[in-house]
Structures are given as C-alpha cells and as structure tokens.
Amino acid sequence: MTALVHSRDDLAGARAAMTGTVGVVMTMGALHEGHRALLRAAREQSDHVIATIFVNPLQFGPNEDFDRYPRTLDADLAICAEAGVDLVFAPDRAEMYPSGEPMVRVNPGPLGERLEGASRPGFFHGVLTVVLKLLQVTRPHLAFFGEKDYQQLTLVRRMVRDLDVPVRIVGVPTVREPDGLALSSRNRYLAPAERQAAQTLSAALRAGVEAAAQGRDAEAVARATFDSDTAKLDYLLLTDPDLGPAPAEGPGRLLVAAWVGSTRLIDNAAVEVVAAA
C-alpha cells in the first residue's frame, strides 16, 4: 500500500515508523519510464521507498515552463503504487517554503554556472536547495538520481560530499525510446514533427561515442551529425566524467542540449576515448 502525505509532520510520522534502509526518489511528477527505473532501483536496494513529487518553483527561470509544467498527481500515484513505493510526499509550495522564497540557498559553485547553468541562471541553486531540503526531511540512506540529468547528478554528488550529507547517491542509467530519444517529462510538449526532429540529440551522441572508440574526434563528429535544420544546438561538449576538461584518453562524457521548437532538451552519454594513433 502506498501512503500519500502532503505535510512535513505527516512525513516525519511515517518516516519515524520505518525501520531498515530508506531510499528516496525525488521527482517533479509527470512520471514516465525513466522514473519507473529510478523507483525500481530504489525498491531493489532499500527496505522502504519514499518518492517525492514537487514542482520546485526555485529551479524555473521567469520565462520558463513552471506554469505549464505537467501536473498529473493521480497518474503519478498509480505509478508509485505499481512500483511498490511505500510513501509519497507531495507538499505544496507553502509546505516546502513556509517563509516564502528562501534567503539562504545552496551555492553550486563554478560548475553550476556552466552548461545548463549558463543557459538557465540560478537553476542549480534552486535544484540543490530543494534536494538538500528533501534530504533533510526524508532522511534517506540512499537517494536515486537519473544519469539523464548528468550535471544535476554530478552536482548532487558534489554537494553531499562537500557538505557532509549522510546519504549515498545512486546514479541510474537513462531510459530511451526505441529510436534513442531520452525519456523526459518535457517530451510531451513535442508536436509530432518535433518529436521526429528530437532524435538528432541521441543520434549525435551515438555518433560521438562511436567516433571516440575509433580514436576520432568525438565532439566534432557529434556536431557534424547533429541536424541543425530541425533543432537549435545550445551546447555539445566532451568532458571527463566529473564534467572537467575533455580527456585525451579513457572515460569521458558527451553532453548535448538543444531547442526543438520551443522545448529545450538535454541528453548525454558515457564515452571511452581511444587516443588517436
């Protein structure tokens, strides 16, 4: 049975009754197969699973999609029940931010200003602040985040390390449509032609991954594969696994962000860079 609570007090009561390990999956709702994979991992690795559903206003810019972000609580609860979630915490804005906009926020540091942070100023301040708050109120042993939001995952790991937060962060691989498109709650904004065009992100990544393995320039090949006629590239970058400078050899990460119509999509893939002969 999945219990639903909206207040911190009810959450605290339910959490206190949990014995054994607790895993949390934080979401903004509009759950899809990618979230199901997170919930599955949490179910497999923890005794109790808490899912949080909260569309966090702090991580949306003034011209972003906060108002139209899909809110599908009943469908989300059905998915949580099916996935064996023990407890859903779905607070409203006043419950999460009782004093209004928080004056003190988590500063993500320089990594928070690059890539997504460069296009979405303040985004990671908002993400890390709510993640830290949700960690405080759910007190999990494990917290599961998707690799799809790779910079978010990297920064959450970093925050937990730098601020001594007692939780283990578990990254869960991206779930994709058969044509390669990474699952995202924002995919539902795409019109049919845009949905078709959106494949170019994963196609570019696949080409880059293959090129890297052959000792060719992954970033250049991915760029050449990206179809700029149907999507507008924001960034496409090869980094090391911690989002530092591109490696000459060994593991790396290829990241892409692009606009398809008015929808901004991101994706990334692990690469193994083979040094050019």
Residue 33 among known ligand-binding residues: yes
Which residues, 38 to 67, sit near ligand PAF by CB under 6 A?
A: 56, 59
Q: Does 131 bind ligand PAF (CB under 6 A)?
A: yes
Q: Kindly report the CA angle at 254 between 251 and 255, in degrees rounded to 5?
A: 145
Site mask for ligand PAF (CB under 6 A), range 65-94, x = bound: ------------------------------
Q: Does 27 bind ligand PAF (CB under 6 A)?
A: yes
How far apart are the C-alpha atoms of 211 and 202, rounded to whole Å?
Answer: 14
Task: Give the SS3 label for residue 32.
Answer: coil
Q: Does 138 bind ligand PAF (CB under 6 A)?
A: no
| 28 secondary structure, DSSP code | -
Residue 252 among known ligand-binding residues: no
Residue 146 among known ligand-binding residues: yes
Whether 48 is catalytic: no
Strands 250-260 and 232-239, by their bridges, are: antiparallel
Q: Does 159 bind ligand PAF (CB under 6 A)?
A: no
Shortest Å, Cβ 219 to ligand PAF: 26
Q: Which of 130, 197, 198, 238 contacts ligand PAF by CB under 6 A?
A: 130
Neighbours of 251 (CB within 10 A): 12
Q: Which of 127, 211, 256, 271 contacts ligand PAF by CB under 6 A?
A: 127
Q: Are 133 and 89 in contact (CB under 8 A)?
A: no
Please tell me the count of residues contacting ligand PAF according to CB under 6 A.
10
Buried b (16+ CB within 10 A) or exposed e, 72-84: eeeebbebbeebe
Strands (E), the chain: 3-5, 22-27, 48-53, 87-89, 142-146, 168-172, 232-239, 250-260, 263-273
Task: Give the SS3 label for residue 79.
Answer: helix
Q: Which is nearer to ligand PAF, 201 or 207 (CB)?
A: 201
Q: Which of 24, 26, 87, 231 contacts ligand PAF by CB under 6 A?
A: 26
> Which is catalytic among the residues 35, 48, 125, 141?
35
Residue 35 among known ligand-binding residues: yes
How far apart are the C-alpha atoms of 86 and 3, rounded to whole Å?
Answer: 6
* Binding site members for ATP: 28-35, 146-149, 175, 183-186
Interface residues with ligand PAF (CB under 6 A) are: 26-28, 56, 59, 127, 130-131, 149, 152
Feature table: binding site: 28-35, 59, 146-149, 152, 175, 183-186
